[in-house]
Amino acid sequence: MVISPGWCLILEVKNLTGELIFNNNPPQLICIKEENKIAYRSPESQLDQYLFGLSKFFEQHQLKVPIHGAISLPFTNAIIKTPPSKYPLLLGRAVINHIWSLPKKDIIPSKQVADLVLQHNAAPSWNQFPLSRYYGIDPADIQRGVECPHCGAIPMKRLKRTWFCEKCKKRHMQAHVKALKDYYM
Ligand SMILES: [Zn+2]
């Protein structure tokens, strides 16, 4: 989110490459890469929701703030088969030109808006419920690290873009997901 004295801009940033198709009906983003087709949530309907929520938020605080939305792709090597219809799509550094193209006005207390947004955006304090204490387990007895989805060995070794199991010699790119889920539990 960019806050200026004239407007707020919400950027929905997608780190995607390959061929991209922005569909409206049903709202979906299709990404085709190396013969794989993956469907994502539509960035346009995401932006619709963010803009709606933010305008309600400003209304509640008696603030009149023009809100803009755009979809941003940091990588310029994506191939756009069908562009989005409702919001501008900004590739790479085009985001800078887009910001320059927005009205230059001094109509909102941008500092106050920023403080208000930050204040309401604070994450709830994390309740770290220690299961080790609950179950009477000495944390030193816990094997730490990423578990191998193939053989269960801990820890896997981090290589470039993947995890490697020194026991069964297999690789798994998503092996950390389970460790993160365990952590949040
Ligand atoms: Zn293994």
Whether the CB-CB separation of 73 and 92 falls below 8 Å is answered with: yes
CA gap 89, 20 in Å, rounded? 11
What distance in angstroms lies between residue 168's CA and the mean position of ligand 1's atoms?
Answer: 4
The residue ranges of every structural domain in the chain are 2-120, 137-184
For residue 49, report the distance from its CA to the centre of ligand 1, in Å: 43
pLDDT of amino acid 183 = 79
DSSP secondary structure letters along 102-156 = S-----S-HHHHHHHHHHHTPPPPP----HHHHHT--GGGSPPSPPPTTT--SPP
Residue 17: the pLDDT is 87
Count Cα atoms within 13 angstroms, Cβ side, for 133. 3
pLDDT at residue number 123? 60
Per DSSP, what are the bridge partners of residue 8? 3, 67
pLDDT of residue 125: 59
3-state DSSP assignment of residue 167: coil
170 CA to centre of ligand 1 in angstroms: 6
| Residues measured by CB to lie within 5 Å of ligand 1, the ion | 148, 150-151, 153, 165, 167-168
The alpha carbon of 160 and the centre of ligand 1 are apart by a number of angstroms equal to 17
Report the C-alpha gap between 79 and 153 in whole angstroms: 40
- Residue 69 class from Cβ within 10 Å (0-12 exposed, 13-18 middle, 19+ buried)? buried
pLDDT mean values, one per 10 residues, the chain (185 residues) = 95 92 92 90 94 94 94 90 95 94 92 90 63 81 91 94 96 93 77
User: For residue 165, what pLDDT is reported?
Assistant: 96
Alpha carbon distance 67, 103 (integer Å): 11
Query: Can you give the pLDDT at residue 136?
Result: 82
The confidence score (pLDDT) of residue 15 equals: 87
Q: What distance in Å separates the CA atoms of residue 96 and residue 99, rounded to the nearest whole number?
A: 5
Which pLDDT score is estimated for 68? Answer: 97
